[in-house]
């Protein structure tokens, strides 16, 4: 397991490698991914929770880490996070539990990091 800081640094490094080779299609996808989480008819907070739930159900730990961090950045609180993770557990079933554990662990790390700043 890597720390959230290590994850963010590695993600940034790898995205730079992708962009070094990326053509228009990949760049457009990255741009669309960025745009879809902005405030619109749904606030960014809700969109991040939706992304988090989908990531848990799809069992993508990198995506879960990313969305947990984003949830922290947009001001999600513990209760909102817990309810969203409960939805992912109901939708995804017990196979989601290992990812749920890691999600709460990363959430804890965002809180520890916030007190260290």
Q: Where are the domains of the chain?
A: 4-116
Q: Please say whether the beta carbons of 69 and 8 come within 8 A.
A: yes
**Per-residue pLDDT tens for 33-74?**
989 999 999 999 999 999 999 999 999 999 999 999 999 999
Burial class (CB in 10 A: 0-12, 13-18, 19+), 64: buried
Q: Which residue in this structure is represented by tokens 């299609």?
A: 25
**Per-residue pLDDT tens for 101-117?**
999 999 999 988 666 65
Choosing among 3.30.70.3190, 3.40.50.300, 1.10.3720.10, 1.20.1290.10, the CATH entry for 4-116 is 1.20.1290.10
Residue 47: the pLDDT is 97
0.85 exceeded by pTM: yes
Residues 6+ apart with CB under 8 A from 112: none
């Amino acid at each position: 397991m890597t720390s959230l800081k290590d994850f963010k640094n590695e993600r940034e490094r790898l995205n730079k490698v992708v962009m070094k080779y990326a053509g228009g299609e990949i760049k457009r996808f990255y741009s669309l991914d960025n745009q879809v989480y902005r405030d619109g008819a749904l606030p960014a907070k809700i969109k991040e929770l939706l992304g988090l739930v989908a990531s848990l159900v799809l069992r993508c730990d990198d995506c879960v880490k990313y969305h947990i961090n984003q949830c922290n950045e947009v001001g999600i609180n513990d209760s909102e996070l817990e309810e969203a993770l409960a939805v992912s557990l109901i939708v995804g079933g017990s196979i989601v539990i290992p990812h749920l554990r890691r999600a709460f662990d990363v959430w804890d790390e965002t809180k520890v990091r916030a007190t260290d700043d």
